[in-house]
């Protein structure tokens, strides 16, 4: 028995909790109610609270506690059969009696509670609840349907063991045919109330979502379900989605056709009427919410049809050709007509509609299935015939999309900021419209785009012209040269728009601040860039290229378009190796004039200098050198001023130096021509730039503003020197002494940019300038020894590893991977410096094995030594063998111990290389050292010594590492 006074007290607490305005009292009550919920018998009092005599908040609290208690603690609550019987009777009675008096939210909670109880009872405690409740609620079928709707919902929420879940699912699937029959009887009965019909539809919807539900069992009810919800967009959308997600749909093409036929016969007509009725006559900021149900249904229809598109296209193509059973063909035509109506809906997106983008998936899928090769030649011919008919759909959608993706004049005044953001996303969503049309009808699509652009240019309509260019840009990667001949003449007409700036500012042409013109110019330049791969390889390149460059120069003077223009000029000019000197003159002149405008963005100015450099690279050397005198002299003068003028603020000096170094970098990376038209005695322009700059670079080194942590100026300087070295190779020999002295001055304090440059120096010296090898090796050995001595000062403590150690190890790995040092003969005077370098590099690496936590550097260290030993084993290099003899004992010991440090598989491979090749070079000594280590005499170690080849050696070493990992884990 339940203490009635306790129930009253609890009810008062709940009621007070939800109504008090005293926060302190609310917290006290919350603690009381939380304590109550933790009580194992809380469900008994909670059940008593579900009484019409109590306030609604009290009843709902009780229902919630009862639901959660059954969900969490069913086995404890219903441990006795009497309790189970009581709970069954209680829930049935509460629903039977309370359906007239309880609020809907309370009923819903009780439906869920009954469902949870039922699921826990299946099948042992309550073998057939559907049969029992059908009998009890014969006069109240809505209760039955509501409860079993929640059964399907709660099944997806409850967490059970896989075996129990599978058993329960089997029991539910056995009930499925009877659920379908009950729902169908309700929906077929003309006397059924709207609420009852709604319950039946929801029940079907939820049972369709059950994992493993058999779609065939539901096929007989779909007609009656659809006829009951034909005007309910949300319900239709949910049913379609559930059917689409069911695996059985792909195995039942006839069911798909039946549903598609219903959609085209009934739903499409309904939606067209709804769209027309909801078109606003003026701006409506709530339009998105007001048309959300339409959007949901259109999207569900599109996704549903996509799911069966492949089969539908094949059937429609066959029907069209054979003229037998035209139903599939008519279905596809009518659906395309409807989706075309949606895609081309006249009002402006985000102002008058929000659904024309929802069909993009449908059209893409249709395009793919129309163009993809069929399994037989017969199907291919049928599809080809169908494409001729359906291409008009794609072209009409493209014609509409050009206008719908165009920005409105004065858009900021007619649309909210949110609507404008929606519109920008809309453009991205509809970006494939032109590609779909092009793949179906290439020539017709290009002809339309060219004629549409010509028409809008004639009308001086910048907005729609930009829309056409947008769609040309989207298909640019798929075009070939013959396509270019259709488009280029009209695209080149776009330079006309530049002259409109001086004409009257018609609001149909321009937004405020010439936004439309800027947007048009940017899209024009972006489109031209995307076509560069066709223009540059075209037979008519010499005719087309000057027009595009001229057009780019037209727009260069327009703020907002200048960056796109410079990028377009660069895209076209950087690929030219020779010729085109006519365009180079205009590029050099226009871009240099732009560069000289100090008010322009500094990054854009550097891009313009890059274009000047590419333009000069097409000219004769003497002309280039004369031009360099005019370009470089003022820049070096300004650079010198920034370096030495201490009256200027430090940040201004750094910014100025960075810009001038950027100018020099752009010249060094663009002026060099790989293929000279003729031999010339004139010096290389890049060499002249570096030679002129060396005295100034010398002044720059050691300045205090170069000692900042970011090293940005040094990185820029190193990049300049690298670019010149990569371009000129052996030509840079006169400057290499400066390069090495520069390295010597920065490498210990600025190791990252220094080592990056040093790799390029080594590449040039070892491949082209052996005369500089001695100085390079001597300096390199000195740097590495200095780093090693620095680390050994902390022998009693953990060495102070820094980024410099990492850079040195990475550089050494680069050198050993290239194997340049293996080519140095033993008699060479450079061997002493080489051995100093190798020994220092190896000891730095070994110190990382023993002390460092930096796994990346450790892995690079093993790689470096692995490359070195591998090359030694192949080349029989005495230099490397001598070095190994000096450091071999510590190397082998540290490497073998590294197996037990769990570095991971990426590091285990280079560890394996070091040990394997050490044993190849010094087999007896290596084995002796390893046998002295812990586990050195194990069976696995013996297998390691007897490995036949590297693959077998690696396999055994992996087993040792796994064994070590398990041993560590067990500690």
Mean pLDDT of 722-746: 88
**Best CA proximity match to 820, nearest among 786, 858, 867:** 867
pLDDT of residue 396 exceeding 90: yes
Q: Could you report the per-residue pLDDT of 379-389, keeping only the tens digit for each?
A: 888 999 999 99
Question: Average pLDDT for residues 625-652, to the nearest whole number?
Answer: 89
Tell me, what's the pLDDT at 340? Answer: 97
The residue ranking higher by pLDDT, 600 or 700, is: 600
Residues 6+ apart with CB under 8 A from 114: 91, 92, 95, 147, 150
For residues 715-739, one letter each, b for 16 or more C-beta atoms within 10 angstroms of the residue's C-beta and e for the rest, the string is: bbbbbbbbbbbbbbeebbeebbebb
pLDDT at 664: 94
Q: Per the structure block, which two tokens stand in for 590?
A: 């226009």
Quick one: pLDDT at residue 581?
57
CA atoms within 13 A on the CB side of 141: 20
Maximum distance among all Cα pairs of the chain, rounded to whole angstroms: 113
What is the distance between the alpha carbons of residues 595 and 602, in angstroms, rounded to a whole number?
9
**Three-state SS for 353?**
strand
Rounded mean pLDDT, 746-769: 90
Give CA angle at 444 (439, 447), nearest 5°: 120
Rg (CA), the chain: 40
* Token digits of residue 724: 């010149």
pLDDT band at 293 (very low <50, low <70, confident <90, very high): very high
807 or 510, greater pLDDT: 807
Q: What is the mean pLDDT of residues 874-881?
A: 61
What token pair was written down for 102?
Answer: 């309880």
The pLDDT > 70 percentage for the chain reads 92
**66 contact partners, CB below 8 Å, separation of at least 6:** 43, 46, 47, 50, 113
Q: In the predicted model, what is the mean pLDDT of residues 463-472?
A: 96
Residue 702 pLDDT > 80, yes or no? no
**Residue 825 scores a pLDDT above 70:** no
In this predicted structure, which of 37-41, 493-497, 732-736, 744-748 has the lowest mean pLDDT?
37-41
Burial class (CB in 10 A: 0-12, 13-18, 19+), 216: exposed
What is the pLDDT at residue 579? 53
- Average the pLDDT over each of 69-73, 135-139, 404-408, 520-524 and give the range with the smallest value: 69-73
State the average pLDDT for the chain: 87
Distance from CA of residue 665 to its chain's centroid?
A: 33
pLDDT for 968:
61
pLDDT in the model for residue 105: 92
- Identify whether the C-beta of residue 488 lies closer than 8 Å to the C-beta of residue 450: no
Confidence band, pLDDT 50/70/90 cuts, at residue 564: very high
Q: In sequence order, what are the residues at sequence separation of 6 or more whose Cβ sits closer than 8 angstroms to the Cβ of residue 451?
A: 490
Residue among 283, 433, 410, 412 at smallest CA distance from 356: 433
């Amino acid at each position: 028995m339940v203490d009635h006074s306790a129930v009253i007290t609890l009810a008062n607490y709940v009621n007070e909790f939800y109504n008090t305005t005293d926060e302190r009292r609310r917290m006290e009550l919350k603690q009381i109610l939380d304590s109550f919920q933790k009580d194992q018998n809380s469900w008994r009092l909670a059940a008593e609270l579900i009484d019409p005599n109590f306030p609604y908040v009290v009843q709902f609290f009780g229902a919630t506690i009862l639901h959660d208690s059954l969900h969490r603690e069913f086995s404890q609550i219903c441990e006795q059969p009497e309790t189970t019987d009581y709970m069954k009777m209680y829930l049935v009675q509460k629903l039977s009696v309370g359906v007239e008096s309880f609020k809907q939210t309370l009923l819903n909670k009780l439906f869920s509670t009954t469902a949870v109880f039922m699921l826990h009872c299946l099948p042992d405690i309550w073998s057939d609840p559907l049969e029992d409740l059908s009998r009890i609620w014969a006069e109240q079928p809505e209760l039955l349907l509501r409860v079993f709707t929640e059964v399907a919902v709660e099944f997806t929420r409850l967490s059970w063991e896989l075996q129990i879940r599978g058993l329960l699912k089997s029991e539910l699937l056995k009930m499925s045919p009877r659920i379908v029959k009950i729902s169908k009887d309700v929906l077929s009965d003309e006397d059924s109330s709207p609420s009852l019909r709604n319950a039946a539809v929801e029940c079907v919807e939820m049972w369709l979502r059950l994992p493993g539900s058999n779609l065939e069992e539901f096929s007989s009810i779909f007609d009656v379900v659809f006829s009951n919800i034909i005007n309910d967009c949300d319900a239709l959308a949910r049913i379609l989605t559930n059917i689409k997600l069911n695996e059985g749909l792909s195995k039942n093409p006839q069911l798909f056709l039946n549903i598609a036929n219903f959609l085209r016969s009934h739903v499409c007509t309904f939606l067209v009427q709804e769209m027309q009725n909801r078109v606003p006559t003026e701006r409506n900021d709530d339009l998105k919410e007001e048309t959300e149900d339409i959007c949901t249904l259109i999207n569900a229809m599109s996704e549903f049809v996509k799911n069966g598109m492949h089969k539908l296209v094949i059937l429609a193509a066959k029907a069209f050709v054979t003229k037998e059973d035209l139903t599939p063909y008519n279905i596809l035509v009518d659906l395309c007509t409807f989706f075309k109506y949606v895609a081309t809906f006249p009002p402006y997106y985000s102002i008058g509609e929000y659904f024309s983008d929802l069909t993009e998936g449908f059209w893409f899928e249709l395009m793919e299935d129309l163009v993809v090769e069929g399994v037989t030649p017969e199907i291919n011919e049928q599809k080809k015939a169908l494409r001729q008919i359906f291409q008009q759909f794609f072209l009409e959608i493209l014609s509409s999309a050009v206008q719908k993706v165009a920005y409105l004049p004065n858009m900021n005044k007619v649309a909210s900021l949110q609507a404008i953001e929606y519109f920008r996303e809309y453009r991205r969503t509809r970006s494939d419209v032109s590609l779909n049309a092009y793949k179906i009808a290439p020539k017709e699509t290009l002809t339309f785009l060219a004629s549409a652009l010509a028409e809008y240019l004639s009308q001086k309509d910048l907005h729609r012209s930009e829309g056409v260019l947008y769609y040309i840009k989207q298909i640019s990667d798929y075009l070939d040269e013959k396509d270019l001949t259709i488009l280029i003449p009209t695209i080149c007409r776009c330079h006309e728009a530049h002259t409109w700036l001086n004409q009257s500012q018609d609001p149909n042409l321009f937004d405020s601040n010439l936004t439309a013109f800027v947007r048009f110019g940017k899209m024009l330049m972006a489109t031209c860039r995307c076509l560069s791969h066709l223009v540059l390889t075209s037979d008519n390149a010499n005719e087309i290229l000057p027009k595009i460059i001229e057009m780019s120069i037209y727009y260069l003077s327009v703020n907002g378009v200048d960056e796109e223009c410079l990028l377009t000029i660069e895209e076209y000019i950087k690929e030219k190796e020779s010729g085109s000197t006519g365009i180079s003159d205009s590029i050099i002149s226009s871009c240099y004039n732009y560069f000289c405008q100090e008010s322009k963005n500094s990054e854009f100015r550097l891009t313009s200098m890059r274009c000047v450099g590419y333009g000069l690279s097409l000219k004769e050397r003497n002309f280039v050198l004369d031009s360099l005198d005019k370009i470089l002299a003022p820049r070096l003068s300004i650079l010198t001023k920034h370096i030495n003028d201490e009256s200027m603020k430090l940040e201004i000096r750094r910014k100025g130096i960075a810009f001038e170094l950027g100018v020099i970098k752009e010249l060094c990376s663009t002026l060099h021509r790989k293929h000279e038209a003729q031999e010339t005695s004139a010096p290389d322009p890049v060499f002249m730039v570096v030679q002129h700059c060396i005295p100034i670079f010398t002044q720059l080194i050691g300045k205090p503003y170069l000692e900042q942590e970011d090293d940005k100026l040094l990185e820029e300087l190193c990049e300049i020197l690298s670019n010149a070295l990569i371009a000129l190779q052996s030509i840079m020999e006169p400057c290499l002494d400066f390069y090495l002295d520069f390295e010597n001055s920065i490498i210990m304090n600025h190791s990252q940019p220094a080592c990056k440059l040093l790799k390029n120096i080594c590449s040039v010296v070892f491949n082209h300038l052996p005369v500089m090898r001695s100085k390079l090796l001597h300096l390199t050995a000195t740097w590495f020894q200095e780093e090693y001595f620095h680390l050994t000062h902390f022998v009693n403590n953990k060495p102070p590893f820094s980024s410099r150690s990492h850079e040195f190890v990475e550089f050494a790995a680069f050198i050993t991977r290239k194997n340049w040092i293996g080519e140095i003969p033993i008699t060479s005077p450079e061997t002493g410096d080489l051995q100093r370098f190798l020994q220092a590099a190896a000891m730095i690496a070994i110190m990382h094995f023993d002390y460092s936590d930096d796994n990346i550097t450790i892995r690079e260290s093993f790689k470096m030594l692995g490359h070195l030993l591998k090359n030694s084993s192949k080349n029989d290099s005495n230099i490397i063998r001598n070095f190994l003899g000096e450091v071999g004992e510590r190397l082998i010991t540290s490497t073998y111990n590294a197996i037990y440090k769990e570095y991971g598989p990426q590091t285990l491979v280079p560890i394996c290389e070091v040990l394997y090749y050490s044993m190849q070079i010094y087999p007896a000594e290596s084995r002796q050292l390893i046998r002295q280590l812990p586990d050195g005499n194990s069976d696995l170690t013996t297998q390691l010594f007897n490995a036949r080849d590297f693959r077998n050696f690696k396999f055994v070493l992996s087993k040792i590492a796994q064994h070590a990992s398990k041993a560590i884990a067990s500690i």
